[in-house]
Amino acid sequence: MPAPHFHAAAGADASLGVLSGVGPVLREKLAARGLSTLQDLWLHLPRGYEDRTTLTAIRDLRPGEPAQVEGRVEAVERGFRYRPLLRVAIADGSRASLVLRFFHFRAQQVAQFAVGARVRAFGTPRPGQVGLEIVHPSYRVLGDGEQVLSEALDPVYPVIEGVGPVSLRKLIVQALSKLPDDATLELLPREHLRKLQLPSLREAILLLHAPPPDADVMALQNGVHPAQRRLALEELLAHQLGLRRQRLALQAEGTRALRGDEALVERLLATLPFTLTAAQQRVYAQVREDLRKPRPMLRLVQGDVGSGKTVVAAMAALLAVADGRQAALMAPTELLAEQHCHGLRGWLEPLGVRVCWLAGKVTGKARAKALAEVAAGTAHVVVGTHALMQEGVEFQDLALAIVDEQHRFGVHQRLALRDKGRGSVPHQLVMTATPIPRTLAMSAYADLDVSAIDELPPGRTPVTTVALSVDRRDELIERIRFACAEGRQAYWVCTLIDESDEVEAQAAQTTFETLQAAVKEHRIGLVHGRMKPADKQATMLAFKAGELDLLVATTVIEVGVDVPNASLMVIENAERLGLAQLHQLRGRVGRGSAASSCVLLYQGPLSALARQRLDTLRQTNDGFAIAEKDLQLRGPGELLGTRQTGLAGFRIADLVRDADLLPQVHALADRLLASAPDTADRIVERWVGGAARYASA
C-alpha cells in the first residue's frame, strides 16, 4: 500500500536522507520495506515489547515467560556436538543458576564470559538439560558498578532485511526527535479525543515506540491500548473519508435522470409466475428513486442466495430501456453471465426488448456484430462478463450498469464503468450474495448506498445440512441413487482449493466416471471450467430440463446457477472451503418447494477451524449469520475479497478488533465532511496517499 502521508509542513515527507548515518545503501534497504520518509518510520511500530525495566531473580524464572536476569559467570563450556556450542552458566543472589546457550558465536564473545564476569541477559527461559536455559539471549557484560535499567519497555521492531535491530532502533529514535508538536500534527478534534479518552497522535506515536514501565503490556500486545486505538481510529477514519470523497466526486459529475416510466416493468410483472416479495418491492422502489435523480446511483443490493435479486435488476434495466437508453449486466463468470442472458431473454424479449450477449469468448464476426449493435443502440440490454468493460466496447447510451456478485468484483473495475457512459456517468447497481455485517458494510462500502433483500420468496424450505466423513462415500452414493429414483435431481460438486482449473476438471472427470460406473440407471452430466462454453451451457440446460438426474460439477456452478428442481447437493472436500463459498454452493439447492439437503463430505481429521465452519453451516441457512461467523473466523480481508485494496491493507487498524470504533469513525467522518473538509482531505492524504489511489483505479 502507498505510504501514509503526514502534512508536508511537518517535514513528514522528508526523505530518510535527512537522518544522519543514512546513505544510499541503507536507504535502499529501508525502501525495500516501504520505508522512505520520516513518517514511514514514525509509523513503523513495534510488533512487541521486552521489559528490561526490572530484573527477575533466577529462582523466580518461569519457563516460557520472557524476563531479564543478572548474574555472575560460574562456568563456561565450549564444545562441538554436531555444531559449535557455547554454554555459559550464571548464578545470582537467589542462589539459582541459569544456562545461556549459543550455537553461533565469535571467539571474542567467548573471551567476554570470564568466570566471575557480571552478565545481564534477556530472553525466554526453557527447560534444559539441567534446570532452565535461554538460547541466544540478548545480553550485555556489565562493567564495574554499572547498574542502569531501561526506563521504558524496549520495542521489538519487525525485522528489516540487512538492517540490524540496534541500527533500526537508533534510526527510529532519530526520526521521532523530528516529530512535530501537537499543534502541527493533530488533525482530530481535541474534545472528541478527550471524550473517547484517547491521546493525541503525537502522544500515541511516542508511547508506542517507548512505553513507560507501568504501561499495560497485555493491552499493547493485544493491540487494544488507547495509543493503538487512537491510531486505528484515525486510520479507519481516513479510509472512510477516502471512500466517501470518492463517492462525492463521482456524484458531483452528475448524470441524466431517468423518467422512471414503469410501463415495461408492469408488463414484466404481469408475465411473471410469482409476485414480488415485500423486500424485493422495497428495494426496487429505492432503486427507482435513485434513478430519477440527476446524480449517478451508487447502490449495493445485498441479498442472500435465492432471494431474487435478478428480477429486481431486470426491472431496473427496464426503466433505462423505457427511456430509450441502455443497461448492461455484468457477471464474474462466463457461466453465470450466460445464465443471466438466458434468463433475461426469457423475461424481456417477449416485451420487445433486445438482449445482447457479449463475453470475452465472443470473437470474430459475432463480436463485431454484437459491438455494432451495442454502439448503435439496437441492443437494449447487454449481458456479459467483465470483458464488457474492456476497451473497444462503445455503448450508444449506457444509462445503467448492473454488476452481479460484487464479492468478486473490484472497486477498480466498478470505477472503470464511469467512463462507459457517453457524456454522462452511468447509474450503478451492485448486487452481492455475500452479505456482510452492517458495521463492516458501512466501512467497506462507504462509497455506496446499501439495500438488503432480507426475505426469501415464500414456499422455500430450508436446506438440511449434514457433514459426512468421506469413509461413507459408498453409503452416500446409494442414497443419491434412491433420491434420483424418486425423481430428485442432485449436484455432486468436486472442489480442490489452490489447484488449477485443469486439475479440478480432472478430479471432476474421475468422479464422473466413478459415479457412472456405480449408478448405471441414472443419467449423469459433467460440467467444468475446461469445457467449451457451448458444451457447458448444453449440459446445464439438459440438467435444468430434467434430462439429467445427477450433475457432476466443479465450483463453476458456485454463483447464480438456478435449477429449482435440484434438491440434493454433495460437496467434496468441504473441510477445505471457506464459509462464504460453501454457503454460495449450498444456495444452488433449496430454490424450489421440495425439501432439500446438502451433504458436506469431508476428509478427517478436521481442524478446529474446519469443524467450526461445518458446524456453522449445519446450524444455519442465514447468510447474514454466516457472514458474521466468517468475519470472526477469517477476518475482514478475506471476507471482502477483491476490495482488499481499501481494507485489508490497514497497518494498524483491524476491523474485527476495532469494530467498536466504527460508529465513532462514521460520526467523525460526517462531522468533518460537513464542517472541516480541508482537514478531511489532510487526513486522507496522510494515511491513504491522496485521491490518486482511488481515482487512478
Residue nearest to ligand ADP (CB): 308
Cell 464542517 locates to: 675
Are 249 and 189 spatial neighbours (Cβ–Cβ below 8 Å)?
A: no
Nearer CB in complex with Mg ion: 404/685: 404
| Amino acid symbol at 3 | A
| Measured CA distances, 294 to 252, 325, 424, 691 (Å) | 10, 15, 10, 24
User: Which is nearer to Mg ion, 309 or 693 (by Cβ)?
Assistant: 309
- CB of 591: closest distance to ligand ADP in angstroms? 5
* Closer residue to ligand ADP (CB): 244 or 586: 586
Burial of 265 (0-12, 13-18, 19+ CB in 10 A): buried
Task: Output the nine-digit C-alpha cell for 88.
Answer: 555459559
Q: Choose from ligand ADP, Mg ion, none: what does 239 bind? Cβ within 5-8 Å by kind.
A: none
> Environment class of residue 110 by beta-carbon count within 10 Å: exposed (0-12), middle (13-18) or buried (19+)?
middle
Interaction of residue 623 with Mg ion, rule CB under 5 A? no
**Which residues, at least 6 apart from 627, have a Cβ–Cβ distance to it below 8 Å?**
434, 435, 436, 437, 580, 639
CB nearer to ligand ADP: pick between 454 and 549? 454
Do 314 and 344 contact (CB within 8 A), yes or no? Answer: yes
Q: Cell 536455559, residue?
A: 133
Q: Residue 296's binding partner, choosing from Mg ion, ligand ADP, none, with beta-carbon cut-off 5 to 8 A by kind?
A: none
38-71: buried (b, 16+ CB within 10 Å) or exposed (e) per residue?
bbbbbbbbbeebbbbbeebebeebeeeebbbbbb
| Closest CB 313 distance from Mg ion, rounded Å | 9
424 DSSP 8-state letter: S
Cβ nearer to ligand ADP, comparing 344 with 680:
344
Binding-site string for Mg ion from residue 512 to residue 551, where x marks contact by CB under 5 A and - marks none: ----------------------------------------
In the complex, least distance from residue 310 CB atom to Mg ion, rounded to whole angstroms: 5
* Closest to 301 measured CA to CA, from 421, 478, 428: 428
Among residues 420, 246, 434, 247, which one has the least CA distance to residue 332?
A: 434
Bridge-based pairing state of the strands 138-141 and 118-123:
antiparallel
Q: Residue 308 touches which of Mg ion, ligand ADP, none (CB < 5 to 8 A by kind)?
A: ligand ADP
Smallest distance, Mg ion to C-beta of residue 251, A: 27
CB of 279 to ligand ADP, least distance (A): 9
Distance CA 133, CA 125 (A): 5
- For residue 621, the minimal CB distance to Mg ion (Å) is 16
User: Can you read off the three cell numbers belonging to residue 482?
Assistant: 434412491
* Residues forming beta bridges with residue 91, ordered by sequence position: 72, 97
Listed as own residue / partner, the contacts of 668-672 with beta carbons closer than 8 Å and 24 or more positions apart are 668/188, 668/189, 668/192, 668/233, 668/237, 669/237, 669/240, 669/241, 669/244, 669/446, 671/189, 672/237, 672/241
311 binds, among ligand ADP, Mg ion, none (CB under 5 to 8 A by kind): ligand ADP
Shortest gap between Cβ of 430 and ligand ADP (angstroms)? Answer: 13
Q: Which of 560, 623, 636, 646 binds Mg ion (CB under 5 A)?
A: 560
Q: Does residue 56 contact residue 69 with C-beta atoms inside 8 Å?
A: yes
**Residue 276 contacts which entry, ligand ADP, Mg ion, none (Cβ below 5-8 A, type-dependent):** ligand ADP
Which one of the spans 16-24, 45-53, 274-282, 555-563 is the region binding Mg ion (CB under 5 A)?
555-563
Amino acid at 26: L
Residues lying near ligand ADP in the complex (CB under 6 A) are found at: 274, 276-277, 280, 303, 305-311, 433, 457, 562, 564, 591
Q: Which stretch binds Mg ion (CB under 5 A): 109-117, 143-151, 524-532, 560-568?
A: 560-568
Amino acid identity, position 619: Q
**In terms of CB distance, is 279 or 571 closer to ligand ADP?**
279
Q: How far is the CB of 356 from Mg ion (least distance, A)?
A: 20
Answer with the entry of Mg ion, ligand ADP, none that 199 interacts with (C-beta below 5 to 8 A by kind): none
514 or 565: whose CB is closer to ligand ADP?
565
Calculate the alpha carbon distances from 118 to 71, 76, 601, 613, 627 in Å.
6, 13, 62, 55, 57
The CB-of-627 to ligand ADP minimum distance in angstroms stands at: 15
Report the partner that residue 564 touches, choosing among Mg ion, ligand ADP, none (CB closer than 5 to 8 A by kind).
Answer: ligand ADP
Cβ 379 to ligand ADP, closest distance in Å? 22
Pick between residue 405 and residue 572 the one whose CB is nearest to Mg ion. Answer: 405
Nearer to ligand ADP, 344 or 665 (CB): 344
Q: In terms of CB distance, is 457 or 533 closer to ligand ADP?
A: 457
Q: CB 12 → ligand ADP: shortest distance, Å? A: 47
Binding residues for Mg ion, rule: CB under 5 A, are: 560
